[in-house]
Structure 1
């Protein structure tokens, strides 16, 4: 048997240069289309290597998370309510529109930096801190890093709710848990360690040092006054509270996790942007890969 002990949920949101937004007299975006597109176009200046939006679709956790959220935002998804593959079947129309939007941020609207399809998880952080991005989705680690380094853009950054789409605003939850091994030579010590660290007083110390990275998995922690000490924490907290699981709207399954681990959604987008496949062909290709995973796992 395996037992998981809930630890935390990694917070995050859309990191925005609020100073640049204010200069143009704009409002913070609430949805991707048209808000993010319009804000990006009105604030970017490619001649100065300043880009409105930095969001890779490449193989990475950032790419995975963005694409999964976008599919949900447009009313689609990788899985249906019964947990069956849905990329090119029951949600084909919705997924087509969602994938088209993601690709358009690069090819049509040109609000993303050159080479963004070669980015991994670290590149948007570096670009934002270098003053080359107006907006980027990221975990609270970016906000934490800027604060820890006393970065000049720290006070010019606002973290807001991840934008949504026609069907709503969805965010894949990013939870962490403790795993204890019975066969460990020091099994009893690991039990004691978890009890000590998860004590509310000790967790509070840890939470306060993390700048939004140690999000609540228990109601009491979500109500802690800490989350009101910084306006940017509210966006992070609300993202956590509305998070959904991998596999949504169906069950969370090993197959759903494997689809994420194989970066099938990222590959799907990459096949359009870099290989020139049509949206329809890329969705059908990715759908088959998902079906293959389900079929292979059903044998075991």
Structure 2
């Protein structure tokens, strides 16, 4: 069926029908679900803030999709991209002043920090979930208010940080692939260092890589920052065991990792200084598309972070999570925009363009051509199927967001790796710092 798209049509049918014939051509299976009614406010305009891209097509296609929304509805949309380290600060300013962007696509648990300042978006979240095969576990965890079915965030996708490694270097060390156990992983790293093919992981205050590595170290030994009742749980035998192992593992690292930001290991890996690390698909994407580094890409493999003592790979993808603020004069337009951006004709091209860097939160997009092309990126498809989240095992709250922003886990690990603290002292200090953000027993 062909029809013209008008403001009246959007208001009567909802944002979900904007796609028109393009939906019928999509290879993403959908259910026949009635979209929510979202009559657009007269004179609506929107300002959207989100983190800067790590791969250029992320921004290009996102902007193009926003322009399509404007063409379909007449709603002008301004999209601003800001640095990863700045997005949390700007979200706080917006929430506390009641002015600024209508929509912010922040990270992880950000909506739980400002939940009283946000518009409930359960109507569009439930519609999208019903239409696209349901939400993945991590999306539900970050999207819903704790102990409720009310959605305060709309997860857009998550960047996984699995192992990235040079096949030739790992094979030269006598391994077909990185092992799943801590002892085997340590032996691999020690051998790679002797072969002048060192490993390295961020231990600086890096939003994605630093937090991702520190959490993995602790979780893979059975430790966690927060108990299920919301009290600090970091000072444990499991944490001390993890930190003792980290002391040995860190000795195999390339120099400088204590100061690494999110771009540092990308540069070292691309320069043949580093041969095993953890990163999103952006590293492989950039290597593959640069003739000068195409040979490194051809020698690169990905694998999930080792399970260690956990039953599954303990990873929590860095998640884009959208919020609509109550101060917005155009909440229906904001919700219509988010819904439009998540519909298959917009979302699937964006997913494919960023090569799965932000892996999908909705199950139907498992069928995206993103995952049937290059086999080296296929494992990113399951990024949001994880059982782990930031602040695991506690409830997602303002406290877990604050502890993450304060790099409690990262700095605990860094203090032991650098020799500034014993594992026992570092765990006690992390518990003291965590007590500022979580209630005591």
Q: TM-score, with normalisation over the residues of structure 2?
A: 0.60
State the alpha-carbon separation in 2 of the partners of residues 256 and 226 from structure 1.
32
1:84 aligns with 2:231: yes
CA distance in 2, matches of 1:270, 1:130: 24
Q: 1:284 matched to which residue of 2?
A: 428
Match of 2:165 among 16, 22, 42: 16
Instruction: Give 1:275 deviation, angstroms.
Output: 5.5
Listed one character per residue, the Cα deviations across residues 107-149 of structure 1 (whole Å, up to 9, x for unaligned) are xxx3101222122221111100101111101122212222232
After superposition, the C-alpha distances for 1:82-103 in whole angstroms (9 at most, x for unaligned) are: 2210112xxx110001112222
Q: 1:139 to 1:243 in 2, by over 3 A?
A: farther
Relative distance call for 1:200 and 1:231 in structure 2 (3 A) is same
Cα distance in 1 for partners of 2:264, 2:345 equals 36
CA distances 1:157-214 after superposition (whole Å, capped 9, x unpaired): 1111111212332112322122233544665554443233222022111111111212
CA distance in 1, matches of 2:173, 2:435: 47
Which residue of structure 2 aligns with residue 250 of structure 1?
A: 394
Partner of 2:188: 39
Matched, 1:128 2:277: no
How big is each residue's C-alpha offset from its partner over 1:37-82, in whole Å with a ceiling of 9 and x where there is no partner? 2222233357x5x31x111222222222211122111011111222
Residue among 204, 225, 231 paired with 2:348: 204
Cα 1:140–1:74 shift into 2, 3 Å: same
- Structure 1 alignment gaps of length 5 or more: none
Deviates more, 1:183-192 or 1:62-71: 183-192
Aligned ranges 1:78-117 → 2 under 5 Å? 78-88=225-235, 92-106=236-250, 110-117=251-258
Residue 273 of structure 1: CA displacement?
A: 3.3
5+ long unaligned stretches in structure 2: 1-115, 119-151
| RMSD over equivalenced CA pairs, Å | 2.4
Match of 1:162?
305
For 2:394 and 2:349, how far apart are their aligned partners in 1? Answer: 37
Q: Is the 8 A contact 1:58 1:270 kept in 2?
A: yes
SS in 2 for 1:288: helix
5 Å-filtered alignment, 1:39-78, equals 39-45=188-194, 50-51=197-198, 53-61=199-207, 62-78=209-225
- How many angstroms apart in 2 are the aligned matches of 1:100 and 1:37? 12
Structure showing greater Rg: 2
Alignment partner for residue 28 of structure 1, among 170, 177, 184? 177
State the TM-score, normalized to the length of structure 1.
Answer: 0.87
Provide the residue aligned with 1:6 in structure 2: 155
Aligned-pair CA distance for 1:32: 4.9
Deviations 1:243-278 (A, max 9, x none): 522222221121111111101112222333335221
* Secondary structure at the counterpart of residue 168 of structure 2: helix
SS of equivalent residue, structure 1 residue 131: coil
Using the alignment, how far apart are the partners of 1:222 and 1:101 within structure 2?
Answer: 36
Query: In 1, Cα distance between the equivalents of 2:266 and 2:348?
Result: 27
Aligned with 2:245: secondary structure?
helix
User: 1:206 & 1:157 partners in 2: Cα distance?
Assistant: 24
Assess if the C-alpha contact under 8 Å between 2:221 and 2:309 holds in 1: yes
